[in-house]
Structure 1
Amino acid sequence: MEGPIETRSSPITLKRKLPQWAQILVAMMLGAGAGYVIFTIYPNNEAVEIAEHISLISDIFLRLIKMLIGPLVFSTLVVGIAHMGNAKSIGRVFFKVFGWFIIASVISLLLGTLIANLLQPGQNLGLPLPPAETEATLKISSFTLSDFVGHLVPRSFAEALANNEILQIVVFSMFFGVALAALGDAGKTLSKVIEELVHVMLKITAYVMMLAPAAVFSAMTATIATNGLEILAKFSIFMIGFYVALLILLGVLVLAGFIFLGRRIFRLLALIREPFLLAFATASSEAAYPKILDALDRFGVKRKVSSFVLPMGYSFNLDGSMMYCTFAILFIAQAYGIELSIATQLTMMTILMLTSKGMAGVPRASLVVIAATLGHFNIPEAGLLLILGIDAFLDMGRSATNAAGNSIAAAVVAKWEGELLSEADAIANARQLDAELALALDPAHKD
């Protein structure tokens, strides 16, 4: 009698808990309040020191996520490719994915350029400008085209895993998956082993994600304690304009999703709210990767599609980051009174289209790409110093947008390929995942 009673009581207990997306939202608000109190009460140096200690929790969480990303991307991508069966299917999905990414990238760059020109956020800034000859001390050489091509292919898979080079892991995994699929029956044993690795990595992910609310509180507290809220007022036009641009971009992406998915797009948005908030609060789209994978499972996207599209999206489909690059470059040019013709801006967009690819995993990658692009158009690199103080707040928005864009891309590609479960089957699958999660996390169910 005791066994069945325990089995029935656990789901009820889980339902009574606050959903994790709500926990994350509460943690964000509490963190902002705690950070502002610290910033107000303590002098700047002490506030920074306190913030460094508080941020240890979020640092540990992000390290744990980075620990998972490499093996998770490798195992899910290899299994996904192996399940596609043949090179023709893989090639078809690849070109569909890239077609979507290129169109989304162009829309992101166009919107950022258009809105920055309309709002003119750099005009009449009312702040002292850094001298034009000041160097921003950012390494920009790694974003030349030749270096990017060289960076595309890993010298060692172990090195790519150790450095969390997502693009290189994707390249190796694609070769591995295609070769495994080509082996046919001879590769089934290894394929099953890698499938078991996927289950192990997802179970570890479930444990790590229990720290998410604490990590969000820590990250938000440290950010506000270090920067305060006053800096937001100084750059209000720039920040409001950028977030308006992000909202418009999200609206366009949702509209595109609606065209292909119909009303189911709203179900997808509800499912990705947790990874969206997580990416926003931690300013890391990597932190949201495992949760996006889970959300797509619940939406009905078959794993062989999501595990193929998501890793590629993290390297090639950074919509929010690309919009930020155009917006920030035009802001800096306007602040220094530099006029850029339409032809020049189109050239700038083309350069950004190339240099922004594969920047996932590079620290402060958007700033590095901006620095590299500024030099092409004789815009003072010192202008980066204007936005360094608010970059953390802007990184939240672009990371969350990147996460949402990749989620919609995976769902649309699954629809194109006929690999999207019906709504009824997706709901049944989600219930099964909930039951498995309850078994994984509830000690009462262990033998």
Structure 2
Amino acid sequence: MNRLFTAFIVGAMVLGVLVGWVLNTALPAAEAAAWAGNLQIITDIFLRLIKMIIAPLVFTTLVAGIAHMGDASEVGRIGVKTIGWFIVASVVSLTLGLVMVHILQPGSGLNLALPTDGAAAAGVDVGKFTLREFVTHLVPASIFDAMARNEILQIVVFSVFVGTAVSAIDDKAPQVLAVVEQGAQIMLKVTGYVMKTAPFAIFAALAASIATKGIEVLFTYAKFVGGFYLSLGILWGLLILAGVVIVGPRILKLVAQIRAPTLLAFSTASSEAAYPRTLEELQKWGVSRKVASFVLPLGYSFNLDGSMMYCTFATLFIAQVYGIEMTVAQQFTMLGLLMVTSKGMAGVPRASLVVIAATLTYFDLPEAGIALILAVDHLLDMGRSATNVVGNSIASAVVAKWEKQIDVPAEEPTPARA
């Protein structure tokens, strides 16, 4: 069934590109835009369906998972291991972006017309991206408000408190726990229904994008786009290699199992769209429910590997376009700055662009550079979103391995112990 679903997704992607190309070449720009707007309705409905289930799914699975952990010390231990992995992955992602942009030099000799205004022209607001906003944003003023706005990080904070409180009660509040577990099962079933519509949303998203921007957008920034996707491929290789070293060769089966949610994230340019299916596949592979439901939501807030690599890659690309040389000290400072600011990307609209704009301002680089990458940002966001899914899946498997919380399905042979 999983292979058939993946085939439908791939078919929808190919058909979407073809239909978009036909609309773009056969119709006047205004009519193509009208068709794209109508197609976008399908994608918008699908993404709203995903947003509809995210909050209750995160809350119920996380509370149930923590409640079964036993005590606060176990929650703390898993939390420390999870954050430790996230920090290492962040350093690797940011550094790889820095190294690759120097090797490939995608912005060198690129003579593009410069816009007269800066970040405002790109619609990027960096005013709200401050340390105070980030820290206070962690804690919900109201859990109902957080759920209404799908603030995953705030829902995680509240769920950790509730789950820890349930586990601390002597009888573990069995009636409350039963309701939460049943709610999780219901939401997983609803997720299954929503996911059946994914190929239609993927077709509509790609067709609408190509219809309005034309297939030429794939070639205009070929060196920049190609270099970034090559860098993403190397990052995937490093993440999978780390997974093989820590978890074992069976991690390759996990990478194969998450191909459907990865393709879904790629084609919709939304990591959030892939969350429910990723959670399901992790548990099918063998990650215990309590680890998967704890690590994955945190990963969506703190472990956006593809987005972090894009921040260094795009910032230095803009510097290269303008012929600006950054000193080694400045580049190391940028790594440290992005290490902190990238953790505030969750819940911020057009997060990567906001972080990049803030970094440009900090180093007095032309903010107008944001407009240079805006044309292909959606295309690059597709790769970033898919990478985030892979990175968070491997992180979940690694933490489960450290916690001895991997259950090999009965139909699979148990690996021989050394």
TM-score bin (small chain)? over 0.9
Report the equivalent of 1:58. Answer: 43
293, 298, 302: which one pairs with 1:316? Answer: 302
AA paired with 1:387?
I
* Alpha-carbon distance in structure 2 between the residues aligned to 1:238 and 1:174: 41
Task: Give the SS at the match of 2:128.
Answer: helix
Report if the CA contact (8 A) 2:119-2:357 is conserved. Answer: no
Report if the CA contact (8 A) 2:119-2:367 is conserved. Answer: yes
* Alpha-carbon distance in structure 1 between the residues aligned to 2:3 and 2:397: 27
44, 65, 69: which one pairs with 1:80? Answer: 65
With over 3 angstroms needed to count, the CA separation of the structure-2 counterparts of 1:134 and 1:192, relative to structure 1, is closer
Tell me, which stretches of 5 or more residues in structure 2 are unaligned?
none
AA paired with 2:94?
L
TM-score, scaled to structure 1: 0.90
With over 3 angstroms needed to count, the CA separation of the structure-2 counterparts of 1:390 and 1:133, relative to structure 1, is closer
Report if the CA contact (8 A) 1:97-1:413 is conserved. Answer: yes
Matched, 1:419 2:395: no
Matched, 1:120 2:121: no
Matched, 1:70 2:83: no
* Alpha-carbon distance in structure 2 between the residues aligned to 1:74 and 1:134: 36
Task: Give the SS at the match of 1:293.
Answer: helix
* Alpha-carbon distance in structure 2 between the residues aligned to 1:363 and 1:253: 27
Deviation at 1:47, TM superposition (A): 1.5
Report the equivalent of 2:287. Answer: 301
AA paired with 1:330?
L
With over 3 angstroms needed to count, the CA separation of the structure-2 counterparts of 1:149 and 1:255, relative to structure 1, is same
* Alpha-carbon distance in structure 2 between the residues aligned to 1:192 and 1:367: 42
1:14-93 alignment, distance < 5 Å:
19-93=4-78
Task: Give the SS at the match of 1:184.
Answer: coil
Deviation at 1:60, TM superposition (A): 0.4
1:56-205 alignment, distance < 5 Å:
56-131=41-116, 135-136=120-121, 137-205=123-191
Matched, 1:286 2:272: yes
Report if the CA contact (8 A) 2:111-2:321 is conserved. Answer: no
* Alpha-carbon distance in structure 1 between the residues aligned to 2:111 and 2:30: 26
* Alpha-carbon distance in structure 2 between the residues aligned to 1:360 and 1:93: 21
* Alpha-carbon distance in structure 2 between the residues aligned to 1:186 and 1:147: 35
Deviation at 1:44, TM superposition (A): 2.1
With over 3 angstroms needed to count, the CA separation of the structure-2 counterparts of 1:18 and 1:83, relative to structure 1, is closer
Q: Among the aligned pairs, what percent are the same residue?
A: 57
372, 379, 395: which one pairs with 1:409? Answer: 395
> Larger % of helix: which?
1
RMSD: 1.5
281, 300, 325: which one pairs with 1:339? Answer: 325
Aligned residues: 413
**1:18-58 Cα deviation digits (max 9, x unpaired):** 61011101100000110111111122222222111101111
AA paired with 1:316?
F
1:189-338 alignment, distance < 5 Å:
189-338=175-324
With over 3 angstroms needed to count, the CA separation of the structure-2 counterparts of 1:152 and 1:338, relative to structure 1, is same
Report if the CA contact (8 A) 2:285-2:408 is conserved. Answer: no
More displaced 10-residue stretch of structure 1: 356-365 or 73-82: 356-365
Task: Give the SS at the match of 1:96.
Answer: helix
